[in-house]
Structure 1
Amino acid sequence: MKYVSTRGHTDRKHFCEILLEGLAPDGGLYLPEVYPQVDAATLESWRGLPYAALAFEILSLYIDDIPAADLKAICEKTYTEDVFGSKEIVPLRMLEDGVYLEALSNGPTLAFKDMAMQLLGNLFEYELVRRGEELNILGATSGDTGSAAEYAMRGKKGVRVFMTSPQGRMSPFQQAQMFSLQDANIHNIAIEGVFDDCQDIVKAVSNDLAFKRKYKIGTVNSINWARLVAQVVYYFAGYLQATQASTGAALTEVQKVSFTVPSGNFGNVCAGHVARMMGLPIDKLVVATNENDVLDEFFRMGVYRVRGSADTHETSSPSMDISKASNFERFVFDLVGRDASRLADLFGTQLAAQGRFDLSGDAAFQAAAQRYGFVSGKSTHADRLQTIRDTFARFGMMIDTHTADGLKVARAHLQSGVPMLVLETALPIKFAATIEEALGCMPPRPARFEGIENLPKRVTLLAADAELVKSFIRSRVS
């Protein structure tokens, strides 16, 4: 299996090369040359596998430069009941007829990002030890990626983390999770701006090839293919839990399911797109946005229009306060028939000149809903408060603000006979103020996080300037 850049760079690379590289040299994102196919019989053979074994089966389709025994050991080390709180790792709970929540937030930092980041930390350490090298990870977070990355990388051999985040835009709990870490290999940088400014800095530094090579810069954002492919696994796991075992003729009439995914940077739902391209029987992929509705606007109208910092709303589902969806490029690459020159024109020339591109009259876009199964919807602060209240009143279950956005939008796209799986994104404690506003009480807090907001903070404030971030990295790398 080799990987190509969405922008057309001619090199074809193996998994471990792009694991440490992040962005391609031309600024594109990596995708496999072809999506490996999973037929109905193979899918049935995976039913009942432990999550770690399922992860090995799926990841081994994409990774051919790590010995199978080593990859299996990495999966078994990563996905354990001790780390994720249950044997299922991603247990499914039915809320009402046909509607399920897939629990992805029982890892170390209480967010779905742990599902991929714990694996990524172990992959990084394995490959760096094998090469005898070091890696300086530069990331951007709107809330959960940062803590998931830092908890996954703390103490790892040969790894330093430099994590940017928008100053004052995360919840107090999210900030405390990151800024209270005192590990020598963890560096937090608060940027005066919004998440998109942080993401732009990461891309700018990654596109400085001389700096990237000299300081061995890698990424953990979902622009890193390794993180995204790890997320593909829980789509298969959710499907296998939601459907009954098939026998005989049923193998030719496989049960379909739909997934609703709270979306900001398009990485989580892009993993669903990959799973669908592999042959997982997904009917609809429902993109749920908050007031920052760039993605909803595209799937409804065919226009991708990025917003500036001043037009990016600060909301009560802050991890989705994103107006430039990095992983969207991967989907559009498939949408335009993997035409790298067309993709480069859309995401390079047109976005730079106009801040938008329009595919509303494009024949490929017109067929996209049917071919790729995407639909979308938007949720507001009032919507998420009502959904949190309703879910607690009817099911005795607290959900976080992002999951509430997903559940609200999911109900607009239900189809008879097609299970709808809503991906949970975080536990309620990460957004306690809004939960208290909705329910009049505070959400439960795991004992290990008691008093975290009062711990000493270790963070550096910088202006939104890639050169300042590069100078900071230079000063911390020997």
Structure 2
Amino acid sequence: MKYISTRGGVAAQQFSDILLGGLMADGGLSIPESYPQFATAELAQLATLNYRDLAFAVISRFVDDIPAADLKALIDKTYTAAVYCNGRNASDADQITPVIKLDDTLYVQELSNGPTLAFKDMAMQLLGNLFEYVLAAKGEQVNILGATSGDTGSAAEYAMRGKKGVNVFMLSPFGKMSPFQRAQMFSLQDENIYNLSVHGFFDACQDIVKDVNKDAAYKAKYKIGAVNSINWGRIVAQVVYYFKGYFATIAATGRAVGDSVDFCVPSGNFGNICAGHIARQMGLPIGQLIVATNENDVLDEFFKTGGYHPRGLDRTYETTSPSMDITKASNLERFVFDLVGRDASKLAAMWQAVESGGGFDLPAEDFARMRDVYGFKSEASTHADRVAHIREVFAQFGVQIDPHTADGYKAAKAHRNPAVPMVIMETALPAKFETTMLEALNQPPARPAGLAGLEDLPQRFDAIAADAEQVKAYLAERIKL
């Protein structure tokens, strides 16, 4: 299995070569030369596997330069009940991502049982172990530069804290995260963790990360790596829980392997749902893939009109589902690469228009194929929608969902086919968004044991301007060469 760039300017590389990096040297994203395939008979054999064995069966198809025994050991070390049990469903902890039944064909897949209570833990915990393994094998170190709108940062820091050969420099938008999200990140005191609070929105943070990655000399000198969803290691780990969610839903609804299941995914940077697209390309019988957004509805606009036109900071809104306060969806490039027949020159021209401050509109045939062949649909939500749907789910089903998952619930209802099971991918635990939950339910959300008083812990961070050169100088002062 070799990896190429979506923009066609990089020679094929192995998994370990692209694992530590973010953007490819030509500015594109890494993607497999082809997707491994599972026939229906093979899927049936996977259906009863536990999460660890299923993860190995899927991920090993993408990795051929790490010995199988070592890869299996890393996966087994990662996906344990001890790591993925926050006290919510202790009896189901070994399932890692159990599904919650709302009605006969509507389910929520728990993805927030990891240490930071967000779906990002599903991939980030494995990425931390892979990084440590590959760095030890190469005798190298890496300095991770990342950007977060709320959950990626804490998931990365908890996965990388104390890891040998790894430093983490995480950019987050100043004052734009929930108090819980800030406390999760800023209260960490590990010497290899640095938090930079950037004056601006997430898109400004993400732009800085991309600008630094484009400086090839600086990136090489300071050994800059990435853990944002542009990192392929995260995407491939996320593919696994689509398989697990599919099999769990098929079993719960009495259907057979080969029958379709729809998935609805709250999405800002398009990484989570990109993993669903890849699972579908591998042969998993996914019908619809529904993108849920908030008021920052660039993705909703794209899937409804075929026009992708990222917006500036003046049209980026601070919302109550803050992890999706994003108007430049980096991983969309991977999907569009497939959509345009893997034509790297065509893709590069489209993204050159985006990076020049504009955008693009899909030709009619590509737009039709996106909906009819790839099964994508979308829906946007407002704060009022979130509050109403948090109340509705709690009143009807006795289940508390966070604001992002509420965005997903609205989108699922809008595009639901009663004949096909629908799985809403959970984003985070409600405890991370107490203010909105109090407004919706007039009661504080349940908080896992051990996290009481988190916001009262001492916090450590540095405020910085939204300027790539200032960030580069900050890193240069602290990285030991």
Work out whether residues 147 and 178 of structure 1, in 8 Å CA contact, stay in contact via their aligned partners in 2.
yes
The match for 1:194 is 201
Work out whether residues 111 and 426 of structure 1, in 8 Å CA contact, stay in contact via their aligned partners in 2.
yes
Shift of 1:21: 1.9
CA deviation map 1:124-153 (0-9, x unaligned): 001111111100000000000000000000
> Is 1:131 matched up with 2:134?
no
Shift of 1:451: 1.1
The match for 2:315 is 311
State the distance in 2 between where 1:404 and 1:178 align.
24
Local SS of the residue matching 1:161: strand
Local SS of the residue matching 1:449: coil
Q: Identical aligned pairs, as a percentage?
A: 61
The match for 1:104 is 111
The match for 1:114 is 121
Q: Which amino acid aligns with 1:115?
A: M
> What are the within-5 Å matches in structure 2 for residues 51-450 of structure 1?
51-85=51-85, 86-244=93-251, 254-348=258-352, 350-359=353-362, 361-450=363-452
CA deviation map 1:262-319 (0-9, x unaligned): 0100000000000000010000000000011000001101111111111101100000
Work out whether residues 90 and 103 of structure 1, in 8 Å CA contact, stay in contact via their aligned partners in 2.
yes
Shift of 1:417: 2.2
Shift of 1:37: 0.4
Unaligned 5+ residue runs, structure 2? Answer: 86-92
Local SS of the residue matching 1:231: helix
Work out whether residues 250 and 256 of structure 2, in 8 Å CA contact, stay in contact via their aligned partners in 1.
no
The match for 2:9 is 9
Single out whichever of 446-455 and 39-48 deviates more from structure 2: 446-455
The match for 1:46 is 46
Shift of 1:363: 1.4
Local SS of the residue matching 1:422: strand
CA deviation map 1:35-82 (0-9, x unaligned): 010111111101111101100000000000000000000010000011
Q: Which amino acid aligns with 1:148?
A: A
CA deviation map 1:389-409 (0-9, x unaligned): 011111111110000000111
Q: Which amino acid aligns with 1:389?
A: R
State the distance in 2 between where 1:323 and 1:216 align.
28
Q: Which amino acid aligns with 1:15?
A: F
State the distance in 2 between where 1:353 and 1:190 align.
26
Shift of 1:333: 0.7
State the distance in 2 between where 1:237 and 1:71 align.
19
Shift of 1:27: 0.7
State the distance in 2 between where 1:77 and 1:442 align.
34
Single out whichever of 339-348 and 269-278 deviates more from structure 2: 339-348
Local SS of the residue matching 1:243: helix
State the distance in 1 between where 2:251 and 2:318 align.
42
Work out whether residues 307 and 360 of structure 2, in 8 Å CA contact, stay in contact via their aligned partners in 1.
yes
Shift of 1:84: 0.6
Shift of 1:354: 4.9
Moved >3 Å (runs of 4+): 244-247
CA deviation map 1:371-420 (0-9, x unaligned): 11101111111111010001111111111000000011101111132100
Q: Which amino acid aligns with 1:324?
A: K
Shift of 1:96: 1.0
State the distance in 2 between where 1:362 and 1:211 align.
42
State the distance in 2 between where 1:198 and 1:454 align.
26
Shift of 1:362: 3.2
Shift of 1:119: 0.2
Shift in CA distance, 158/167, structure 1 to aligned 2, threshold 3 Å: same
Q: Which amino acid aligns with 2:359?
A: R
The number of residues matched between the two structures is 473
CA deviation map 1:4-30 (0-9, x unaligned): 101112310000000012210011000
Give the TM-score of the pair, scaled to structure 1. Answer: 0.97
Work out whether residues 44 and 246 of structure 1, in 8 Å CA contact, stay in contact via their aligned partners in 2.
no
